[in-house]
């Protein structure tokens, strides 16, 4: 009986400790499109704290309502097509032989696509940006890729 009581206490303690740990949220789709550049630091998804998530959710609701009323976006959410846009962009990059030797991560928010990772030349970086801009429903491309590898920030 004592072992059961200790085990139960440990389980309850583990439950409560994990409930107190800070949570993080990822609201925007993030995926790796290519992985052919050894030594390229991994792209980082946009992670938010609980407080940042609450603020961001409020801002997104306001932005969605405003653009719907202005007629500049589809009512019901400027963000709802981001997962399919993100996947479409990643597939386009994966399917283009020019980028097989790159390591590229893709994040989409409100039809704005952010590219992270490493490419080998400036020409490859420019070609990547042009390819992504040409994809359906992409409004803006933020090309944050690096020519060559960079050391991970500490």
Cβ–Cβ under 8 Å, residues 124 and 98? yes
pLDDT at residue 58 tops 90: no
Q: Which pLDDT does position 61 carry in this prediction?
A: 85
Domains of the chain: 29-46+80-147 (3.30.1340)
Kindly state the average pLDDT of the residues 42-63.
90
Whole-prediction pTM = 0.76
**In 10 A of CB 61, how many CB atoms?**
11
Secondary structure in 3-state letters for 94-106: HHCHHHCCCEEEE
Residue percentage of the chain with pLDDT more than 90: 60
Higher pLDDT, 73 or 70: 70
Residues in a beta bridge with 11: none
Which tens digit of pLDDT belongs to each residue from 12-41? 444 444 556 778 888 899 999 999 999 999
Which tens digit of pLDDT belongs to each residue from 71-93? 887 787 778 899 999 999 999 99
């Amino acid at each position: 009986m004592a072992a059961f009581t200790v085990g139960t206490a440990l389980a309850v303690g583990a439950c409560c400790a994990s409930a107190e740990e800070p949570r993080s949220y990822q609201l925007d789709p993030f995926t790796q499109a290519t992985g052919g550049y050894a030594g390229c630091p991994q792209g980082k998804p946009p992670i938010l704290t609980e407080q940042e998530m609450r603020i961001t959710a409020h801002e997104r609701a306001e932005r969605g309502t405003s653009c719907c009323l202005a007629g500049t976006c589809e009512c019901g959410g400027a963000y709802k097509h981001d997962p399919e846009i993100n996947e479409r962009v990643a597939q386009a990059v994966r399917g283009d032989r020019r980028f097989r030797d790159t390591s590229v991560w893709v994040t989409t928010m409100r039809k704005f696509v952010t590219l992270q990772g490493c490419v080998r030349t400036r020409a490859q970086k420019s070609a990547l940006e042009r390819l992504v801009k040409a994809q359906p429903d992409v409004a803006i491309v933020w090309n944050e890729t690096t020519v060559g590898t960079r050391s991970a920030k500490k």
